[in-house]
Amino acid sequence: PKDVGILALELYVPSMYVDQTDLEAHDGVSSGKYTIGLGQQKMGFCTDREDINSFCLTVVQRLLENYKIDPREVGRLEVGTETILDKSKSVKSVLTQLFESYGVTDLEGIDTTNACYGGTAALVNSLNWVESSSWDGRYALAVAADIAVYAKGSARPTGGAGAVAMLIGPNAPLVIDRGVRSSYFTHCYDFYKPDLTSEYPVVDGKLSIQCYLKALDECYKLYKKKVADKQKIDVNLDSFDAVLFHSPYCKLVQKSVARMALIDYLDKPNQNSDLEKYRKIKLEDTYFDRDVEKAFVEVSKQQFVDKTKPSLLVAAQVGNMYTASLYGGLISLLQSKTLQELTGNKIALFSYGSGLASSMYSITVKNNDALVKILSNLTGVQRNLDNRQKVAPLKFEQNLELRQETCHRAPYEPVSSIESFFPGTYYLSRVDEKHRRFYERV
């Protein structure tokens, strides 16, 4: 099959958020720490009425409805998540409920987990299936979703929650470039969830930033090499119309653009005399080097504004959606441009999951009917974000305590209201004494 890639995209974010300025005041940190220091504006969250199953039910059903996809046209369904409700039963198995009534049970795919990388793994599995001898002509659906919550403390403002579903098949407008995806996988304890009764991770913030930047270095260098070897093209930041990242918080993304500019410079030093002193530095010595960071943030300032900032809408307004973060970035970018602006674009994407798994790959945008449909479906993204309900930090905190106490309880009747929910949202109606979970739709 030709031009295998993404044919449709759907986003779901919960209907409630806490404002990061309010959170700064509530947490008693210096004003500007979350909003300027981390670059975050709002943080989406959910109550005990939602869980990872309901998130995925909502986003998949919405994609099928909004793009008028008959479930019988789908032959593979993959879920990437690190929000684990059950050590055995997959979220995918819950989603089969949306297909079974159409007689669709020949539906391969299960869940994939490795921190924020699962969404990319789901996408890669879907692409591989369509390009393989197992393919039967139907679409694949890749779902990335997470509820990102942290214990009280410095990591809490970097939470978030959301889901993205992507329809994968041939003749796509968002074609995944073949043969150039570059990956870096290794072992580290930067962020992990060893306590299976808790939704909170164990996180070494500083180490996680170092691991993220190291993974970016390795993926970008290898991507450059692969393109140079195969296509005899020297890749640099200007090879791309857009550069997208997994976004734990937006400030790290701006530093990542600077990092790529640094790698480009070390690759092919230019005549900029301000940078001369950095010519001989080693990448691994510079993860927390303020001077290097400052110099290359300055050098890449305009590139950040042009190529990356448009992709940070959902990241800034919702927070880290873990597996869905990078794909929320793709949605943010697409909804910010016109068909003409996007046509022919080359988009770089960097996916990172702690522990660690990472890849860089690229997309070439082709103008076809499916692109028109995607753009028309995404026109509501900003409105949707604006229509959410603002909740005071204290209430947000009480809600996290409620989740903490009840997320694995059985039997359980959720207590939170569904009043503010967007139409079409699935919610948890009850958990029975055997831990079986039941959902209804607004």
Please report, as residue ranges, which positions from 355 to 394 form the binding site for ligand ACO (by CB under 6 A). none
d(CA 241, CA 287): 26
The reply on whether position 30 binds ligand ACO by CB under 6 A is yes
Tokens of 19: 């404002």
The reply on whether position 203 binds ligand ACO by CB under 6 A is yes
* Known active-site residue 246: yes
Q: Which of 45, 117, 184, 212 binds ligand ACO (CB under 6 A)?
A: 212
DSSP characters for 376-436?
Answer: HHGGGHHHHHHTSEE--HHHHHHHHHHHHHHTT-SSB---S--TTPPTT-EEEEEE-TT--
Please report, as residue ranges, which positions from 113 to 152 form the binding site for ligand ACO (by CB under 6 A). 116
* Known active-site residue 82: yes
Task: Count residues binding ligand ACO (CB under 6 A).
Answer: 22
The reply on whether position 327 binds ligand ACO by CB under 6 A is no
Q: Which of 170, 205, 310, 424 binds ligand ACO (CB under 6 A)?
A: 205
List alpha helices for 192-245, DSSP H: 205-231
- Residue 216 Cβ, how far from ligand ACO at the closest point, in Å? 10
d(CA 188, CA 78): 26
2 in a labelled binding site? no
- Residue 209 Cβ, how far from ligand ACO at the closest point, in Å? 5
Tokens of 178: 């073949």
The active-site residue out of 78, 211, 218, 246 is: 246
Q: Is 344 left (phi over 0), alpha (psi -120 to 50) or beta?
A: left
Tokens of 70: 């008959």
- Name the closest residue to ligand ACO (Cβ): 37
Stretch that binds ligand ACO, among 104-112, 229-237, 246-254, 409-417 (CB under 6 A): 246-254
Question: Which DSSP letter does residue 178 get?
Answer: T
The reply on whether position 32 binds ligand ACO by CB under 6 A is yes
Burial class (CB in 10 A: 0-12, 13-18, 19+), 375: middle
Question: Which three-class secondary structure string do you get for 252-319?
Answer: HHHHHHHHHHHHHHHHCCCCCHHHHHHCCCCHHHCCCCHHHHHHHHHHCHHHHHHHHHHHHHHHHHHC
441 phi and psi, to 5 degrees? -120, 135
List alpha helices for 104-204, DSSP H: 118-130
- Residue 31 Cβ, how far from ligand ACO at the closest point, in Å? 6
d(CA 147, CA 145): 7
The reply on whether position 344 binds ligand ACO by CB under 6 A is no
- Residue 392 Cβ, how far from ligand ACO at the closest point, in Å? 21
The reply on whether position 155 binds ligand ACO by CB under 6 A is yes
208 in a labelled binding site? yes
- Looking at beta carbons only, is 41 or 377 nearer to ligand ACO? 41
366 in a labelled binding site? no
**Structure-token match 């692409």, residue found:** 127
Query: Residues 280-319: x/- map of binding to ligand ACO (CB under 6 A)?
Result: ----------------------------------------
Stretch that binds ligand ACO, among 97-105, 153-161, 269-277, 374-382 (CB under 6 A): 153-161
d(CA 144, CA 79): 6
* Known active-site residue 116: yes
256 phi and psi, to 5 degrees? -70, -35
The reply on whether position 81 binds ligand ACO by CB under 6 A is no
Write out the binding residues for CoA: 208, 251, 255
- Catalogue the active-site residues: 82, 116, 246
Binding region for ligand ACO (CB under 6 A): 30-33, 36-38, 116, 154-155, 158, 191, 203, 205, 208-209, 212, 248, 251-252, 320, 354
